[in-house]
Amino acid sequence: MEDLGDNKKNRWAMATFITVTVVIVAIVLAVFYSRQSNEYKLESLNKSYDYIIVGGGSAGSVLASRLSESPGVTVLLLEAGDIEENNFLVTTPGAVHLLQHSELDWEYYTVPQKTSQFGIYDQKSFWPRGRVVGGTSILNYLVYNRGSRHDFDGWAHNGCEGWSYQEVLPYFLKSEDNIIPEVMDSKYHSKGGPLKVTESRAMTLVDTFLDAGKEMGEHIIDCNGYSQDGFCPLQSTKSEKGTRWSTYDAFLKPALGRDNLHLSVNSLATKVIFEERRAVGVEFIKNGRKKFVTVDNEVILSAGAVETPHLLMLSGIGPKEHLTDMDIMTISDLPVGENLQDHMMSIVYNCINGTQSMTEKQASSISNTMRYLLFGTGSHVTRSRYIHQVTAASLHLLQVSAFQTFTESFSQDDAQMDMVQHVCQSSPSIPVLGFGT
Ligand SMILES: Cc1cc2nc3c(=O)[nH]c(=O)nc-3n(C[C@H](O)[C@H](O)[C@H](O)COP(=O)(O)OP(=O)(O)OC[C@H]3O[C@@H](n4cnc5c(N)ncnc54)[C@H](O)[C@@H]3O)c2cc1C
């Protein structure tokens, strides 16, 4: 009887010990993480800065980092969203689909389209965009694909000085930290920069796809190398551990300790203020209160393809007729917002009768999650999403891509088709292979 009593006491003591340890660890982690994410939430700002950057997304993070390299220059970065640190959904590429429609997403919809979106309710296209420090690089698909050299050369040819491919290549190299063995020593890549670029082949279908390309007589290429014409394993902005490497991780975070760089989160810019035709400051809303900061040199708008033209128009720069309709005084009558373009993406499904793809069940299994957490491998390091409305199937974006130029002459500025392979499994027994273009 005494033994039984002692056993009970021991078990009780053990349970108490474990509970207390778990609670203490949880408190320590909570304090640690909240400190980390609060570190840069400045409540008091200077009255004036040399540069004010609106939007701390892909572009804004790089700009803030580069401009504040000079200690004598003061920079304010205004961002409508917050810092999202240590969020498993953000760091895990395979969870990317869960970020769309979340609080980190502006959740834009287009107006009903007249000539497209016929298969979509109301013909309104959904446009996810990051509302968070790091912007859309926090919820995008991590593909590291530089623009076509023909596009850059075309811009330079049309008068955009300094933008030819040979002139922008050094900047791509400066920012890159490429650890893909096959390409990292090529003259089109470099190591040691802030932006981590890696490759992962979570499924053997990647190699099958590349083999199919070879069989068709296509070249297997480095998609950021000399030619983008052919089949390539995709390169991704991911760390060696397989986690997302956003522009916040790469550029802004390492710069946030600088005294001359201030980041103000949850700060929605509402207007650039002009004196005659010179920008003198920015009005923004933070914690429900309107604020104003003046600028000595420049206001830079990097609020994304939707918000930048919106903010310009709110500030009086845009088509006069539209601004007058909206009761906004025109400062400069310009066709702002009239050349917005989006790229097409369509998905075609094909069945494969093998087991090389990953089912939703396999993807969310404990062993797959442990592989990711311990070794940075498995399907969580791939971009995946789930298309519930269409087929209730899970869809994995593979790490391969194919480009096809449409003209014979490689020297011409050219249209390209980017084909990214998708794999999904519509039922446990029928894996499906699809192509998005
Ligand atoms: C679903 C999806 C997948 C994608 N996949 C890829 C991919 O795999 N590879 C790739 O290269 N590209 C991809 N892209 C595109 C790429 O992510 C974007 O082109 C890029 O992030 C845009 O950068 P940006 O700096 O222009 O805008 P953003 O990164 O969107 O930054 C704009 C920032 O401004 C802030 N902001 C907006 N308005 C205001 C305001 N009034 N006041 C203050 N702050 C404001 C926003 O909150 C945001 O943080 C993808 C895009 C989407 C939507």
The ligand 1 atom nearest the CA atom of 267: 43
Compute the mean pLDDT over every residue in the chain, rounded to the nearest whole number.
Answer: 82
* Ligand 1 centroid, distance to 136 Cα (angstroms): 3
The vertex-259 CA angle with 257 and 265, nearest 5°, equals 70
Q: What is the pLDDT at residue 312?
A: 98
CB-based pocket (< 6 A), ligand 1 = 54-60, 78-81, 128-132, 135-137, 140-143, 268-269, 302-304, 307, 311
* Ligand 1 centroid, distance to 58 Cα (angstroms): 6
* Ligand 1 centroid, distance to 437 Cα (angstroms): 21
Tens-place pLDDT, residues 255-313: 999 999 999 999 999 999 999 999 999 999 999 999 999 999 999 999 999 999 999 99
Question: For the residues 325-345, what does the mean pLDDT come to?
Answer: 90
* Ligand 1 centroid, distance to 436 Cα (angstroms): 21
Whole-angstrom distance, CA of residue 231 vs CA of residue 66: 34
The ligand 1 atom nearest the CA atom of 305: 26
* Pick from 64-78, 114-128, 184-198, 375-389: least confident: 375-389
Whole-angstrom distance, CA of residue 62 vs CA of residue 190: 18
* Ligand 1 centroid, distance to 82 Cα (angstroms): 14
Q: Which protein residue has the closest C-alpha to ligand 1 atom 9?
A: 143
* Ligand 1 centroid, distance to 326 Cα (angstroms): 26
The vertex-131 CA angle with 130 and 133, nearest 5°, equals 90
CB 223 within 8 A of CB 235: yes
Q: Which protein residue has the closest C-alpha to ligand 1 atom 3?
A: 140
Closest to 76 in 3D by CA, of 94, 58, 85, 63: 63
Runs of H (alpha helix) within 238-279: 247, 253-255
Residues 6+ away with beta carbon under 8 Å from 122: 112
Q: Which protein residue has the closest C-alpha to ligand 1 atom 41?
A: 269
pLDDT surpassing 90 at residue 360: no
Runs of H (alpha helix) within 101-219: 149-157, 165-175, 205-215
* Ligand 1 centroid, distance to 410 Cα (angstroms): 31
Q: Which protein residue has the closest C-alpha to ligand 1 atom 18?
A: 136
As given in the structure block, the two tokens for residue 75 are 């920079």
Runs of H (alpha helix) within 44-114: 58-67, 88-91
pLDDT band at 203 (very low <50, low <70, confident <90, very high): low
Q: Which protein residue has the closest C-alpha to ligand 1 atom 19?
A: 136
Q: Which protein residue has the closest C-alpha to ligand 1 atom 26?
A: 304
Q: What is the pLDDT at residue 229?
A: 83
Tens-place pLDDT, residues 110-126: 999 898 888 888 899 88
Whole-angstrom distance, CA of residue 268 vs CA of residue 266: 6
CB 85 within 8 A of CB 40: no
As given in the structure block, the two tokens for residue 299 are 């206001």
pLDDT surpassing 80 at residue 234: yes
Q: Is 121 exposed, middle or buried (0-12, 13-18, 19+ CB in 10 A)?
A: exposed
Where do the domains of the chain lie?
Answer: 1-38, 143-243+342-436
Residue of 45, 136, 282, 420 to mutate, ligand 1, most atoms within 8 A of C-beta: 136
186: helix, strand or coil: coil
Tens-place pLDDT, residues 372-406: 777 777 767 765 443 322 232 334 445 566 665 55
More confident residue, 353 or 262: 262
The ligand 1 atom nearest the CA atom of 141: 8
* Ligand 1 centroid, distance to 318 Cα (angstroms): 22
Tens-place pLDDT, residues 26-54: 665 555 555 444 445 556 899 999 999 99
The ligand 1 atom nearest the CA atom of 134: 49
* Ligand 1 centroid, distance to 131 Cα (angstroms): 8
